[in-house]
Amino acid sequence: MTEEERLAKNNKIREKGKETRLRRQSQICRVFRVKIDFSHLNEIEKTQLKMIFVEAKWLYNDVLTFSNANEINKYDYKIATVHGLDKTKQPVIRELKNLSSQMKQSVIQGVKHNMKSLSAMKKHSRKIGSLKYKSNYESINLQQYGITYKFCDKKHMKIQGIKRPIKIDGAEQFFDIPGLEFANAKLLNLPDGYYVAVTTFQNKGGENKKYKPEIGIDMGIKTSITTSEGKKYKIFVGETKRLKKIQRRIMKRKKGSSNRYKLRKLLRREYQKLDNRKKDKANKIVHKLLEHKKIYMQNENIKAWHKGLFGKTVQHSILGIVKAKLMKNERVVVLPKKVATTKTCPNCGRINKEITLSDRIFECQCGYKEDRDIHAAKNMIMLSKNTCGTQGINAFGEDIRRKHKQKCCNADLDELGSRHFYK
């Protein structure tokens, strides 16, 4: 390719990118995960899949030996061998056989990206360390649909570097959605198997959906989530017996032994399962709540609960996940912490300061009586109508919702593909 051709090509890519970004503004971004059916792969494919991550790790660690970005820029995406150390710390040269050049590119860009975010943190005078060598590579970017990855049908997909189509589970969640666009995807190496997280875009629309009437919700550690309609959702996902058992067994093994390593792997898997269960429950609750036209809630500081009295209980609750998910939605109105939702009487407007955490029933001098949490949830609707003029703006004129949203948008899709926002 001559220099002119190269520049023309770059220009074309840039124009295409602009076009896409414009289109994305009117689209909703959603990430779906499909699981690779490992048992249906043959031996060659199994090793190929494993080696993709091992080679990515080798490459990542090799790139890391260069300290500045200029040297990394010189890296060729077609690089075929990397330097490394073997078990006895002797230098070896390793061949990259399974990694495609687009995957290599994404690994190298990953290092650059990490360096950039570190230096950005340094500029904000945060304490930073240097990037560390990886012992395990977890996620590889599959940049282009149709080239690095492709769906053949509901049950099969193709990944660059692996010859046959791979059997997958879970494509039903999005396969029949009309007009769905696939952007990049991530090949994930998680404790409980290999996954592909696909980022998709879909045109906005269907706004004339019928919603249920508006509700207020009260979040509490003791009684979970309570709605103004009197519904209570349990929010605890406890540790399993198996998890505790593995933890105990690990303590008995010698550090550095292979048995301990195996157990650690099992433990990671258990935690992954727990995480999945938490996410599933949170999704279900959020889905139920969003059936309502408008949702009023208070901006509670769940992190502070974590540190304080309720540490362990909060750790096993999914309140934080539910809150974060709700706050991203446009139909959710958030009241600031300072609004006295529990103490205000909706009947006479008096503020009853003497009510404490242990009082489960709210009683006012005027004779008004109600379950404490339902009362608080009902108050959310009333108080936000009195104090908030516009959606998401609190009584003090701050736009809470946007503040939170910005935080989410700045973070790109994270390593495990769990951010649902597009820049």
Of the ranges 196-204, 225-233, 269-277, 368-376, which one interacts with Zn ion (CB under 5 A)?
368-376
Q: 419 near 412, Cβ under 8 Å?
A: yes
Decide whether 287 or 369 has the Cβ nearer to Zn ion. 369
Q: 247 near 264, Cβ under 8 Å?
A: no
DSSP 278-295: HHHHHHHHHHHHTTBS-E
Which amino acid, residue 116? Answer: K
Decide whether 157 or 364 has the Cβ nearer to Zn ion. 364
83 CB contacts (<8 Å, ≥6 apart)? 62, 65, 91, 92, 93, 94
Q: Does 364 contact Zn ion by CB under 5 A?
A: yes
Of the ranges 94-102, 214-222, 362-370, 383-391, which one interacts with Zn ion (CB under 5 A)?
362-370
Identify the residue whose tokens are 């051709």.
Answer: 5
Between the alpha carbon of residue 298 and those of residues 83, 366, 377, the distances in Å are 54, 26, 9
Contact flags string 226-245 toward Zn ion, x per CB under 5 A: --------------------
Q: Does 345 contact Zn ion by CB under 5 A?
A: yes
Between the alpha carbon of residue 282 and those of residues 201, 231, 247, 353, 422, the distances in Å are 23, 16, 26, 33, 21
Of the ranges 50-58, 345-353, 379-387, 403-411, which one interacts with Zn ion (CB under 5 A)?
345-353
Compute the least distance from the CB of residue 348 to Zn ion, in Å: 3
Compute the least distance from the CB of residue 214 to Zn ion, in Å: 23
> Quick one: tokens of 358?
């242990």
Q: Does 351 contact Zn ion by CB under 5 A?
A: no
Decide whether 332 or 381 has the Cβ nearer to Zn ion. 381
CA dist 177 and 286 (Å) reads 21
Decide whether 332 or 364 has the Cβ nearer to Zn ion. 364
Compute the least distance from the CB of residue 350 to Zn ion, in Å: 5
Q: Does 348 contact Zn ion by CB under 5 A?
A: yes
Decide whether 347 or 406 has the Cβ nearer to Zn ion. 347
Distance of CA 220 to the CA centre of its chain: 24
Of the ranges 117-125, 281-289, 298-306, 367-375, which one interacts with Zn ion (CB under 5 A)?
367-375
Number of residues counted as binding Zn ion (CB under 5 A): 7
Choose, by CB under 5 A, the member of 73, 347, 406, 418 that binds Zn ion. Answer: 347
Decide whether 82 or 364 has the Cβ nearer to Zn ion. 364
CA dist 340 and 275 (Å) reads 33
Between the alpha carbon of residue 208 and those of residues 113, 141, 204, 293, the distances in Å are 41, 37, 12, 11
Q: Does 111 contact Zn ion by CB under 5 A?
A: no
The neighbour count for residue 221, using CB atoms within 10 Å, is: 18
306 CB contacts (<8 Å, ≥6 apart)? 314, 315
Compute the least distance from the CB of residue 216 to Zn ion, in Å: 18
CA dist 339 and 336 (Å) reads 6
Decide whether 16 or 350 has the Cβ nearer to Zn ion. 350
Write phi, then psi, for 180 (nearest 5 degrees).
Answer: -80, 130
CA atoms within 13 A on the CB side of 37: 15
Decide whether 18 or 350 has the Cβ nearer to Zn ion. 350
Choose, by CB under 5 A, the member of 28, 366, 408, 411 that binds Zn ion. Answer: 366
Q: Does 408 contact Zn ion by CB under 5 A?
A: no
Decide whether 240 or 365 has the Cβ nearer to Zn ion. 365
Q: Does 363 contact Zn ion by CB under 5 A?
A: no
Q: Does 340 contact Zn ion by CB under 5 A?
A: no
Choose, by CB under 5 A, the member of 145, 310, 368, 421 that binds Zn ion. Answer: 368
Q: Which residues bind Zn ion (CB under 5 A)?
A: 345, 347-348, 350, 364, 366, 368
